[in-house]
Amino acid sequence: MSTTICQVMGFVVSSLGFAGCIAATGIDMWSTQDLYDNPVTAVFQYQGLWRSCVRQSSGFTECRPYFTILGLPAMFQAVRALMIVGIVLGAIGLLVSIFALKCIRIGNMEDSAKANMTLTSGIMFIVAGLCAIAGVSVFANMLVTNFWMSTANMYQGSMQTIQTRYTFGSALFVGWVAGGLSLVGGVMMCIACRGLVPEETNYKAVSYNASGRNISYKTGPYKAGTGYESEAKSKKVSAYDDTARSDDGKRSYPSKYDYV
């Protein structure tokens, strides 16, 4: 029972992590404009993995996709690749884990096969979570580096120049949480795999051979005894013993004069 609960909980947690990875990849707020010490608040800019958007104070929002691939930074493309790999691995792991659930029977699938499928899906979820966490962390490192470089350029010299700085967006936190859920769910699936493996018995069969003389058995028809035959035989023997005894109580044996 505990194995089934652990497997189902791992499946649910991993599914939530997989959905979070998809949501984080599609959200446009990976980096948002830092409004601290920024006198211009009529325009708010934020960027995602696929497009950059500008929202005005009137409520009008305009988004522009990235029309280039080679023109983007290498680290930016690496983040894209990590998130896509995490989503693909999560989708495959989710599909495998559905058929590996103990509460679902498909044909004559044995528990050992379900255990292997559970272990495979758990490993895929773990790798997917690591990819998501790595991608989000790399992007966060890029933001921190650019933020402090922009801050140093703003206060360089006697005059303060206004530059657009970007800070963490909501998609980063969604990606971190989703990656953690996928990682935890994968670990739970791997733990449930041990309970699905059938236990092997340590008892070994021992054959005993009859030593010494060869014993031959003769088969014949079986007669069911009623229990009265032994009593009848015993009665005959006792009757013979009674007639063979003399008057003085001693047993007499026949002599040659008895036959004359």
Write the CB contacts of 131 (distance below 8 Å, at least 6 apart in sequence). 82, 83, 85, 86, 89, 179
The yes-or-no verdict on residue 208 having pLDDT over 80 is: no
Q: Is the dihedral of CA 104, 108, 110, 114 positive or negative?
A: negative
For residue 250, the model assigns a pLDDT of: 52
**What distance in Å separates the CA atoms of residue 63 and residue 168, rounded to the nearest whole number?**
19
Instruction: Name the most confidently modeled range: 27-41, 191-205, 237-251.
Output: 27-41
Poorest-pLDDT segment among 138-147, 152-161, 180-189: 152-161
Which parts of 31-96 are beta strand (E)? 31-33, 43-47, 51-56, 61-65
The yes-or-no verdict on residue 157 having pLDDT over 90 is: no
Q: Are 105 and 163 in contact (CB under 8 A)?
A: no
Higher pLDDT, 93 or 203: 93
